[in-house]
C-alpha cells in the first residue's frame, strides 16, 4: 500500500521523530495526515498547518478508536521515553506505553486500517551481546533469547510480538523497525529526556559560552554507539512501510563511535577543547551497540548513510540557536 493518496495517522506527532515524519508523509503525497500527541499543542516540537493536529491520550482505547477513524495507514511512534537517564529511572512509565501500542493495534483492526507501522528500538537486544565496547554489530535474530533493556526494552519487545500476532490472527499488515539512536534538530536537548548527541552538543556549547572549559561525561567514555540522523530515519520508516518486510528490521547507522569520539566531533565543531570529567555512577546503558545493516541492504538496497559529523553540525547549530534565543526547555 502506497503512502501517496493514503489517509495517514502519526501517533506521537508532537515528538521529535514524529514531527519530522509528518513532513516526510506530506512530501510523499499522503492524502491527509492526522497528527496526534498527548502533549498540549504549544509543547509540540513541530506543528504543521497542513495537517489535522489532535491532542489525545492514546493509552485510552476510545482515544485510539477516535484517532484511527477513517485512516488507511498508522505510524505508531507514541511512547513515554527519553535518554538513558530517563529510561533507567522510569521503568514503569516506559512499560505503560504497552497500553498505547495494544490499544492502537486494536483500534487499527477495528477501524479497518490497511497497514500499521510500529517503531521499536535497539533496546530490545539481548544485553549479554552488548557487554563490550568492541561490539559485534547486532543482527535482528540477536533479540532472542530475550534479555532486553529493563522496562523500555521489554515493552518494545512485547509490542513487536503483538504486531506479529495481529498480522497472523487478524490480517492487519504490520511493519516493525528497530530504531538505533536517532538524533537531529527540532528535538529534545535539555531537561532530562535528551539523548547523548543532543546532550553532548548542549554541554559543549554551555562550556564554550560560559568559558568554563569542562564537561561531564556519563560513564568512562569508552562505550560505543551508532547514531542515525533523523532524515535517514524518516526515509527508512517510509521505505520499510512500503516494503514486504514482515519481521522486525534494524533501522540505524552502522558508523560506530565511542562517546569520547562523539565529544571529539562536538568539540571540533564548536572550536573548543574541554577537560573531561567522567561520572562513573551516572546511567550509561550497555557498553557497546551497533546496527548490522545486512538485511536492510538486502531488502531495500539502502542503509542510513548521513555521516555523524554532518548531522551533528546541523544539530549543534540548531541547539546553539535555541540557547542564544533564550529557549531553556524542550
Q: Which active-site residues does the annotation give?
A: 152
d(CA 300, CA 240): 8
Neighbours of 254 (CB within 10 A): 19
C-alpha cell at 224: 560505543
Pair type for strands 214-218 and 249-251: unpaired
Amino acid at each position: 500500500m502506497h503512502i501517496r493518496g493514503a489517509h495517514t495517522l502519526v501517533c506521537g506527532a508532537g515528538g521529535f521523530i514524529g514531527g519530522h515524519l509528518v513532513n516526510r508523509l506530506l512530501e510523499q503525497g499522503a492524502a491527509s495526515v492526522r497528527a496526534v500527541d498527548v502533549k498540549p499543542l504549544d509543547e509540540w516540537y513541530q506543528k504543521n498547518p497542513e495537517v489535522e493536529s489532535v491532542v489525545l491520550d492514546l493509552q485510552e482505547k476510545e482515544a485510539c478508536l477516535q484517532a484511527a477513524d477513517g485512516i488507511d495507514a498508522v505510524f505508531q511512534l507514541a511512547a513515554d521515553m527519553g535518554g538513558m537517564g530517563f529510561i533507567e529511572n522510569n521503568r514503569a512509565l516506559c512499560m505503560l506505553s504497552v497500553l498505547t501500542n495494544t490499544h492502537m493495534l486494536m483500534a487499527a483492526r477495528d477501524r479497518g486500517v490497511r497497514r500499521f507501522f510500529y517503531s521499536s528500538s535497539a533496546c530490545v537486544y539481548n544485553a549479554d551481546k552488548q557487554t563490550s565496547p568492541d561490539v559485534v554489530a547486532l543482527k535482528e535474530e540477536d533479540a532472542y533469547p530475550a534479555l532486553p533493556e529493563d522496562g523500555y526494552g521489554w515493552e518494545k519487545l512485547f509490542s513487536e510480538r503483538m504486531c506479529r500476532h495481529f498480522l497472523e490472527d487478524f490480517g492487519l499488515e504490520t511493519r516493525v523497525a528497530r530504531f538505533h539512536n536517532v538524533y537531529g534538530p527540532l528535538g529534545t536537548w535539555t531537561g532530562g529526556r535528551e539523548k547523548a548527541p543532543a546532550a553532548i552538543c548542549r554541554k559543549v556549547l554551555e562550556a564554550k559560552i560560559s568559558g568554563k572549559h569542562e564537561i561531564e561525561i556519563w560513564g568512562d567514555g569508552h562505550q560505543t554507539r551508532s547514531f542515525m540522523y533523523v532524515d535517514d530515519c524518516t526515509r527508512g520508516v517510509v521505505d520499510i512501510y512500503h516494503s514486504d518486510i514482515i519481521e522486525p528490521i534494524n533501522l540505524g547507522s552502522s558508523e560506530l563511535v565511542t562517546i569520547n569520539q562523539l565529544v571529539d566531533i562536538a568539540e571540533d565543531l564548536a572550536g573548543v577543547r574541554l577537560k573531561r570529567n567522567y561520572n562513573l555512577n551516572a546511567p550509561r546503558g550497555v557498553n557497546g551497540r551497533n546496527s548490522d545493516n545486512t538485511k536492510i541492504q538486502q531488502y531495500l538496497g539502502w542503509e542510513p548513510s548521513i555521516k555523524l559529523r554532518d548531522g551533528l553540525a546541523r544539530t549543534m547549530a540548531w541547539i546553539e540557536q535555541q540557547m542564544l534565543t533564550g529557549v531553556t526547555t524542550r
